[in-house]
Structure 1
Amino acid sequence: MLIRQLNPSDAKSYRELRLEGLKFHPDAFGASYEEEKNKPLSLYEGRFQSDQSYTFGAFVEGELVGVVTLLLESAMKMKHRANIVAMYVTSSVRGQGIGKQLLLTALTQAKQLSTIEQVHLTVVSTNQAAKKLYESVGFQSYGIEKRALKIGDAYIDEELMVKYLIK
């Protein structure tokens, strides 16, 4: 397995993997398949060149199988924070530690940025496997956002988690 930061040439593979996640796990993301399916590759190419985010990909035998993005806050009073977003590992390779390695890579990047003191994420409150993964690398729960997402007539609660890089 190889983990590296994605670049514009990875946009097509990233888009395919992202759409897979949105289609088969709609309750795990704030975005929807319907919203994303028609977005151009140039959107992702641009994101991979931004100095406000770092997207890492896990590759097995040259195929992109997992992703995570570290998104930096830009507001002056929030520049000490970053967020983990768009985390996804394809089902055929789950349980092999790929998600954990992606998270650790994103956290290492956060630690290398002198301004980042804490990293936040949200996770569907019923996703025990994901919560266990996040806790295993030091994230702690600090609240529940009730009815954070709505899919059709169903509401989904999200758990708010944080990892402090400096005590």
Structure 2
Amino acid sequence: MVIKILESEFAEQYREVRLAALQTNPESFSASYEEERLYPLERFISRLENFHAFTFGALIEDKLVGVVTLVLEQSEKMKHRANIYGMYVLPDYRSHGIGKGLMEQAIEKVKEIVYIEQIYLTVVATNAPAKKLYQSLGFEVFGLDKRALRVEDTYFDEELMVLHVKRCCFI
């Protein structure tokens, strides 16, 4: 397995994995399959070319099997923060450390960026495997967003998590 930052030549595979994620686990994403399936390929290319975001892909024999996106905050008062979005591993490739590898690469990228101090993510409160993964990497729950997502007539709570990658003190 190889994990790397995806560039525009992976846009088609990224789109396929993203749509699979939205269709397979709609409760885990704020975006919907019905919306994103209509997006042109250029929109996915644009995501991969964003200067303030890094989409990591896990490749097995040149097949994209998992993704996660790290987005850096841009406003002056929030530049010390980054966010994790769109974490997904295809079902046939789960429980092999791919998700952990993707997250570790995202965390390592943050450590290279001097001014980032913490990473945020949300996880559906009922997603025990994802919560276990994030906690194993040092993420801590700091809040609960009740009824954060609605899929048809079912509501899902999201846990808000943070990882402090650097402690900074101003005197």
Cα displacement (A) at 1:165? 0.8
**Mean Cα displacement is larger for which, 27-36 or 146-155?**
146-155
Specify the alignment match of 2:61 in structure 1: 61
Whole-angstrom distance in 1 between the partners of 2:27 and 2:49: 28
Whole-angstrom distance in 2 between the partners of 1:153 and 1:23: 16
Whole-angstrom distance in 2 between the partners of 1:15 and 1:50: 15
Cα displacement (A) at 1:96? 0.3
User: In the alignment, residue 160 of structure 2 is paired with which amino acid?
Assistant: L
Specify the alignment match of 2:165 in structure 1: 165
What whole-Å deviation, never above 9, does each CA across 1:108-146 have from its counterpart, x for those lacking one?
Answer: 001101111000000000001000000111100101000
What whole-Å deviation, never above 9, does each CA across 1:23-80 have from its counterpart, x for those lacking one?
Answer: 0110010000001001011111112111110000000111000000001111111110
Specify the alignment match of 2:48 in structure 1: 48
Runs in 1 of length 4+ with deviation above 6 angstroms?
none
Matched residue SS, 2:158: strand
Tell me how many residue pairs correspond in the alignment: 167
1:25 aligns with 2:25: yes
Alignment of 1:11-160 (within 5 A): 11-160=11-160
Whole-angstrom distance in 2 between the partners of 1:149 and 1:83: 18
User: In the alignment, residue 139 of structure 1 is paired with which amino acid?
Assistant: F
Matched residue SS, 1:116: coil
User: In the alignment, residue 166 of structure 1 is paired with which amino acid?
Assistant: K
Whole-angstrom distance in 1 between the partners of 2:6 and 2:41: 13
User: In the alignment, residue 114 of structure 2 is paired with which amino acid?
Assistant: S
User: In the alignment, residue 91 of structure 1 is paired with which amino acid?
Assistant: P
**Mean Cα displacement is larger for which, 47-56 or 120-129?**
47-56
**Structure 1 regions of 5+ residues with no counterpart?**
none
Whole-angstrom distance in 2 between the partners of 1:40 and 1:115: 34
**Mean Cα displacement is larger for which, 38-47 or 2-11?**
38-47
User: In the alignment, residue 21 of structure 2 is paired with which amino acid?
Assistant: G
Cα displacement (A) at 1:151? 1.2
